[in-house]
């Protein structure tokens, strides 16, 4: 198993051989990436644990960033009129908690903008999001509602794909294509051919009817039929210490129980796993949230499959030092093996006071960026002794004992074999009957013919 140290060693060996001109040298901020184990891990994941390919990709990234002056792209050097137009902006999260980079395709018409300046806008957003999300994957959300052929810019899409493939490692979670007009179907077949196989698997075509499968209604914009009334308004980036090369603060979910990292808002107990139990024909689990921040906080809880769980409470506010127990109940009728694969995301943000109005709370969440929101991830676990007795259904009313299930399956197998033999014998009987019938018909014909011949001879 390759490690970040392996990637670093290969890169530094190549660095000793000298940097070709251009670029002649690497930007100091980009060289900090070489020291960041988290960034090198992203490279390894992107290159399927090949340290040589990961080091080569790191080299190519640093060359590209220096050649294109990526570190100099900011709100003073980019076309702000392009940005404020709102054709590209980050907002909301998918069902896995990954930030959406929304591309409002209807607001982009091919050939109407300086393409080089447009590329800078995209780099601006990619770099800013990479800093604010601290390298976590994002989802590209193509809002195709109301688009026509003039809005389909293949050159722009190719550029987006090239950034994800070559210069932003392990940065893509989903590609969601929302409300794609049928006239653009052929164009998206070309797009699929440009994507790696793994990226094609992550492409999701969505409509208003099934958007909830990839974006929860609370995170979906009102124009998509969701509950979020957000309208894009540009907010300048707060460039603090969240550069991509700065090690990410460790969330409590990444530490041991009853520990807390300075600067983190919450303490979760259990810290990374919800343990479910089967009691009184109900599958349930719980965890406790404690506010460790100096101010009041608001929290929200999201899950990968909202239809499977009843979460109480799913949101709320907490004063400093106070706690809240969250109860999670599995809805009846869901398959056990799918429930164990689900995840929960706890998000928190500072609020000025506990008695904020619902509107004020909505505004706080809408204006909070990735750097202001703390996130904690939890997985699901069912101890062997508490598993539903049939090992599959979590609805107590539909459980059968293992022996009865086995016997039923065995009886079904026996009955199937008997039926198969009976059908086979029936086919043989049918064939035998056909042969006898044919012989009888032939014999009757021969007797009839012989009788006619005898009568003819008598007349002669």
Can the peptide bond before residue 421 be classed as cis, meaning omega within 30 degrees of 0? no
- CATH for 261: 2.60.40.10
Look at the alpha carbons of 331, 334, 336, 337 in this order and tell me if their dihedral is positive or negative.
negative
Of 346, 374, 394, the domain-final residue:
394
Can the peptide bond before residue 314 be classed as cis, meaning omega within 30 degrees of 0? no
Contact, 308 vs 342, CB < 8 A?
A: yes
End-to-end CA distance of the chain: 105
Residues 85 and 47 in one domain: no
Contact, 69 vs 119, CB < 8 A?
A: no
pLDDT of amino acid 170: 94
Average pLDDT value over all residues in the chain: 81
pLDDT of amino acid 71: 94
pLDDT of amino acid 417: 53
pLDDT of amino acid 397: 43
Residues 56 and 93 in one domain: no
d(CA 283, CA 387): 9
Residues 322 and 354 in one domain: yes
Residue 78 has pLDDT above 60, yes or no: yes
Residues 42 and 102 in one domain: no
Per residue in 151-186, pLDDT tens? 888 889 889 989 999 999 999 999 999 998 887 777
Q: Is residue 184 part of a domain?
A: yes
Of 372, 394, 416, the domain-final residue:
394
Can the peptide bond before residue 198 be classed as cis, meaning omega within 30 degrees of 0? no
Q: Is residue 42 part of a domain?
A: yes
Q: Is residue 9 part of a domain?
A: yes
Q: Is residue 52 part of a domain?
A: yes
Mean per-residue pLDDT, 95-120:
92
Residues 58 and 85 in one domain: no
Say which residue, 326 or 391, is predicted with more confidence: 326
Per residue in 290-341, pLDDT tens? 988 888 999 999 988 888 888 988 899 998 888 888 999 888 777 666 667 7
Q: What residue ranges in 154-261 does DSSP mark as E strands?
A: 172-178, 203-206
Of 174, 205, 224, the domain-final residue:
224
Residue 446 has pLDDT above 90, yes or no: no
Residues 83 and 169 in one domain: yes
Q: Which residues make beta-bridge pairs with 378?
A: 344
Say which residue, 399 or 77, is predicted with more confidence: 77
Say which residue, 419 or 86, is predicted with more confidence: 86
Q: What is the pTM of this model?
A: 0.56
Say which residue, 214 or 411, is predicted with more confidence: 214
Residues 83 and 220 in one domain: yes
Question: How many domains, in total, are found in the chain?
Answer: 3
Q: Is residue 235 part of a domain?
A: no
C-beta neighbour count of 9 within 10 angstroms: 13
Q: Is residue 182 part of a domain?
A: yes
Tell me, rounded to whole angstroms, the distance of Cα 304 from its chain centroid: 9
Q: Is residue 46 part of a domain?
A: yes
Residue from 163, 117, 106 nearest 140 by CA? 163
Residues 56 and 106 in one domain: no
pLDDT of amino acid 64: 96
Q: Is residue 457 part of a domain?
A: no
**Which residue segment(s) compose the domain that 136 sits in?**
78-224
Contact, 92 vs 134, CB < 8 A?
A: no
Residues 146 and 187 in one domain: yes
Residues 25 and 103 in one domain: no
Q: Is 308 helix (H, G, I), strand (E, B) or coil?
A: helix
Residues 277 and 322 in one domain: yes
pLDDT of amino acid 125: 97
Report the percentage of the chain scoring pLDDT > 90. 39
Residues 282 and 165 in one domain: no
């Amino acid at each position: 198993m390759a490690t970040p140290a392996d990637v670093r060693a290969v890169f530094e060996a190549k660095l000793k051989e000298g940097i070709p001109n251009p670029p002649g040298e690497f930007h100091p901020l980009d060289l900090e990436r070489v020291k960041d184990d988290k960034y090198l891990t992203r490279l390894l994941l992107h290159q399927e644990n090949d340290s040589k390919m990961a080091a080569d990709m790191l080299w190519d990234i640093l060359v590209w960033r220096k050649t294109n002056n990526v570190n100099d792209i900011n709100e003073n050097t980019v076309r702000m009129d392009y940005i404020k137009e709102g054709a590209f902006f980050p907002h909301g999260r998918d069902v896995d908690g990954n930030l959406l980079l929304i591309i409002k395709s209807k607001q982009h018409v091919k050939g109407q903008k300086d393409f080089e300046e447009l590329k800078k806008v995209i780099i601006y957003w990619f770099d800013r999001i990479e800093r604010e999300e601290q390298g976590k994957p994002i989802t590209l959300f193509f809002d195709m509602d109301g688009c026509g052929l003039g809005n389909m810019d293949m050159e722009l899409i190719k550029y987006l794909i090239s950034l994800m493939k070559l210069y932003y490692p392990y940065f893509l979670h989903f590609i969601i294509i929302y409300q794609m007009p049928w006239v653009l179907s052929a164009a998206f077949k070309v797009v699929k051919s440009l994507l790696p196989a793994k990226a094609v698997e992550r492409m999701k075509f969505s409509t208003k009817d099934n958007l909830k499968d990839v974006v929860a209604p609370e995170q979906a914009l009102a124009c998509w039929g969701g509950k979020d009334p957000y309208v894009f308004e540009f907010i300048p980036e707060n460039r603090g210490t969240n550069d991509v090369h700065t090690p990410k603060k460790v969330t409590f979910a990444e530490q041991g129980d009853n520990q807390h990292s300075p600067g983190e808002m919450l303490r979760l107990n259990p810290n990374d796993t919800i343990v479910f139990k089967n009691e009184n024909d109900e599958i349930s689990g719980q965890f406790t949230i404690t506010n460790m921040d100096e101010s009041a906080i608001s929290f929200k809880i999201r899950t990968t499959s909202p239809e499977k769980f009843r979460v109480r409470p799913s949101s709320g506010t907490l004063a400093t030092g106070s706690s809240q127990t969250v109860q999670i109940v599995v809805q009846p009728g869901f398959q056990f093996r799918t429930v164990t694969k689900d995840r929960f995301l706890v998000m928190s943000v500072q609020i000025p006071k506990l008695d904020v109005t619902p509107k004020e709370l909505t505004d706080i969440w809408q204006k909070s960026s990735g750097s202001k929101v703390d996130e904690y991830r939890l997985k699901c676990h069912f101890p062997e002794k508490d598993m539903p007795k049939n090992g599959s259904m979590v609805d107590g009313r539909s459980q059968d004992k293992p022996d009865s299930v086995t016997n039923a399956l065995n009886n079904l197998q026996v009955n199937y074999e008997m039926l198969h033999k009976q059908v086979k014998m029936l086919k043989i009987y049918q064939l035998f009957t056909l042969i006898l019938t044919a012989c009888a018909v032939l014999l009757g014909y021969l007797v009839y013919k012989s009788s006619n011949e005898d009568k003819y001879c008598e007349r002669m």
